[in-house]
Structure 1
Amino acid sequence: MAIIKCPECNHEISDKAPVCPCCGAPIADHVVTCPECGKVYFSNQTECPQCHHLTGKEVAAQADVHTKPTNVHKNNRIIIMVVVAVALVVCGICYAFYHNAQSDKEQIAYEAAMASQDADVLQNYLAMYPNAPEEHVDSIQSHLEMLKAIDRDWTNAMVSGSKSAIERYLAEHPNSPFKSTAQHMIDSIDWSVASAAGNVESLEAYIESHPDGDYVEEANDAIKNLNTTTVQPEDKLLVAGVFNSFFQSLNARDEEALTSTTSPLMTKFLGKSNATRSDVVTFMHKIYKNGVSTMKWQPMDDYKISKKDIGSQKIEYTVVFSAKQTVTHDDGSTEDLQYRVNAKVSPEGLISEFNMVKILE
Structure 2
Amino acid sequence: MAIIKCPECGRQISDKAPACPNCGVPIAGKIVRCPQCGEIYFKDQEMCPNCHHLTPRGETLVKGEVGNTSLNNSNAPQSPNIANTGEMESAHTKQRMPQPPTPPRTGSSYHKAEDRNSQRPVPPTPSGNHQKPEASKKSHSALIIGFILAVLACGICFYFYNSSKNSKEEEAYEFAMNSDDPTVLQTYLDTNPDAPEAHRDSIEARLENLKQTDIDWTNAVVSGSRTALEDYLTKHPNSEHKAEALHKIDSLDWIDATNGNSEQSYTAYLSEHANGEHVDQANNALKALKAKTVQPEEKTMVKAIFRHFFQAINAKNEDGLTATVAPLMSNFLGKTDATKADVAVFMDKIYKDDISNMNWHINNDYNITKKEVGDEEYQYNTTFSAVQKVDKVDGTSVSTRFNIKATIGPDGLISSMSMTKILE
Quickly name the TM-score band, shorter chain normalised: 0.5 to 0.7
1:257 alignment partner, SS class: helix
1:86 alignment partner, SS class: helix
Aligned pair partner of 2:236 in 173, 177, 183? 173
Aligned pair partner of 1:121 in 172, 184, 196? 184
Matches for 1:184-223 after TM superposition, within 5 Å? 184-194=247-257, 197=260, 209-210=272-273, 213=276
Tell me which residue corresponds to 1:24: none
TM-score, length-scaled by structure 2:
0.59
Q: Residue 158 in 1 paired to residue 221 in 2? A: yes
Aligned pair partner of 1:103 in 156, 166, 177? 166
Could you give the per-residue CA deviations for residues 41-68 of structure 1, whole angstroms, max 9, x where no partner exists? xx99xxxxxxxxxxxx89xxxx944442
Tell me which residue corresponds to 2:344: 281
Matches for 1:304-343 after TM superposition, within 5 Å? 304-311=367-374, 314-327=377-390, 335-343=398-406
Tell me which residue corresponds to 2:149: 86
Could you give the per-residue CA deviations for residues 282-314 of structure 1, whole angstroms, max 9, x where no partner exists? 444555578666544322111122344544654
Could you give the per-residue CA deviations for residues 313-355 of structure 1, whole angstroms, max 9, x where no partner exists? 5443222222233455677665544333221123333211112
Report the more deviating stretch, 227-236 or 119-128: 227-236
Q: Distance in 2 between matches of 1:258 and 1:93?
A: 108
Aligned pair partner of 2:361 in 298, 314, 317? 298
Q: Distance in 2 between matches of 1:342 and 1:304?
A: 10
Structure 1 residue 122: Cα displacement = 0.9
Structure 1 residue 77: Cα displacement = 4.4
Tell me which residue corresponds to 2:44: none
TM-score, length-scaled by structure 1:
0.68
- How many residues are aligned here? 305
Tell me which residue corresponds to 2:36: none
Unmatched segments (≥5 aa) in structure 1: 1-17, 19-42, 45-56
Could you give the per-residue CA deviations for residues 106-161 of structure 1, whole angstroms, max 9, x where no partner exists? 12322332343222321332343244345533442332122011011112112222
Could you give the per-residue CA deviations for residues 32-89 of structure 1, whole angstroms, max 9, x where no partner exists? xxxxxxxxxxx99xxxxxxxxxxxx89xxxx944442564355234314422331232
Structure 1 residue 90: Cα displacement = 0.7
- Structure of higher CA gyration radius: 2
Tell me which residue corresponds to 2:207: 144
Unmatched segments (≥5 aa) in structure 2: 1-15, 17-63, 66-83, 86-125
- For the aligned residues, what is the CA RMSD? 3.9
Aligned pair partner of 2:418 in 340, 346, 355? 355
2:239 alignment partner, SS class: coil
Could you give the per-residue CA deviations for residues 80-106 of structure 1, whole angstroms, max 9, x where no partner exists? 442233123212211122112211321
Q: Distance in 1 between matches of 2:261 and 2:423?
A: 39
Aligned pair partner of 1:239 in 294, 298, 302? 302
Structure 1 residue 208: Cα displacement = 5.1
Structure 1 residue 229: Cα displacement = 5.5
Q: Percent identity?
A: 44
1:266 alignment partner, SS class: strand
1:132 alignment partner, SS class: coil
2:159 alignment partner, SS class: helix
Q: Residue 257 in 1 paired to residue 320 in 2? A: yes
Tell me which residue corresponds to 1:72: 135
More helix by share: 1
1:347 alignment partner, SS class: coil
2:209 alignment partner, SS class: helix
Q: Distance in 2 between matches of 1:244 and 1:118?
A: 72
Q: Distance in 2 between matches of 1:190 and 1:350?
A: 41
Structure 1 residue 268: Cα displacement = 1.7
Q: Distance in 1 between matches of 2:248 and 2:347?
A: 63
